[in-house]
Structure 1
Amino acid sequence: MSTMNRRELLKFAAAGTVAVGTGALAVQVLTTSGSQAAVEGTGATGLDETYKGRRIQAAPAGLRAQSRDAAPAMPHVLIDGKPLHVMVNADGTYTSVSNHYETFKSLRAVARAAVDQLDGAQLVPLHHG
């Protein structure tokens, strides 16, 4: 029978922690409802509503046409016809440029939060480069 030194014990503890964390992440990803549910039951065409006098249109990534050579489809959100840059987090929640440090469970929630944040101001499209 061999004895285990402190270094070996720490290696096993670290490996166990990584294994448990990976398993928890896998369970969370597999149980997260699909992006269509993230629009909160708005049907196959996505979201189209008026909130506080602003027109919000949104479609999850799966509803947008995508070519073979294009980058992976991102959710598409428009406020008064102007695009709101929305990012999908690893856990299936959403973040926008107007609320970058807050996460939302649905496209409707992230779009409404952006309208609240704008407080009547017009959305200026984000340009890269």
Structure 2
Amino acid sequence: MPELTRRHALGAAATLAAVAASQSLSAPTATAAGHDHTRPEAFDEVYRGRRITGRPTSGSGHHHGAGYAVFIDGVELHVMRNADGSWISVVSHYDPVATPRAAARAAVVELQGAPLVPFGAN
């Protein structure tokens, strides 16, 4: 059996990495497969004592909002749609969720009763 050299080990590692990368690109991931890329429906509900609403907007709205506006007690919650179809808000930025409604609910939980302060997006 030939001696294993650093060059052979690096070559094998590179080959394995390339194969793994090509398989992950061709197979759908659970995160990407779990999100719907269509425009979400409007909602209006009271969640934990706070009025949360969401609706499609005409045009593109905020540059990241994908034509959708979310409000907590009448104050706009800045939301953003990620490339995989998940949603985040300015309040729960590091916790992506499947829908704007879920983003509003997560923000209500995070606010713990505090009022939402308007976000001056540039």
Fold match (TM-score > 0.5): yes
Match of 1:10 in 2: 13
Q: How many Å separate the matches in 2 of 1:128 and 1:111?
A: 18
1:77 Cα deviation after fit = 0.7
Match of 1:112 in 2: 105
Task: Name the TM-score, length of structure 2 as normaliser.
Answer: 0.70
Q: Find runs of 4+ consecutive structure 1 residues off by over 6 angstroms.
A: none
2:51 pairs with one of 28, 50, 55: 55
CA change 1:90–1:18 in 2 (3 A) is: same
Q: How many Å separate the matches in 1 of 2:102 and 2:34?
A: 20
- Superposed CA RMSD in Å reads 3.0
Q: How many Å separate the matches in 2 of 1:98 and 1:92?
A: 18
Task: Name the TM-score, length of structure 1 as normaliser.
Answer: 0.67
Letter aligned with residue 48 of structure 2: K
Tell me the number of residue pairs that the alignment of Structure 1 and Structure 2 aligns.
114
2:96 maps to 1:103: yes
- Where does the alignment leave 5 or more consecutive residues of structure 2 unmatched? 1-6
2:119 maps to 1:123: no
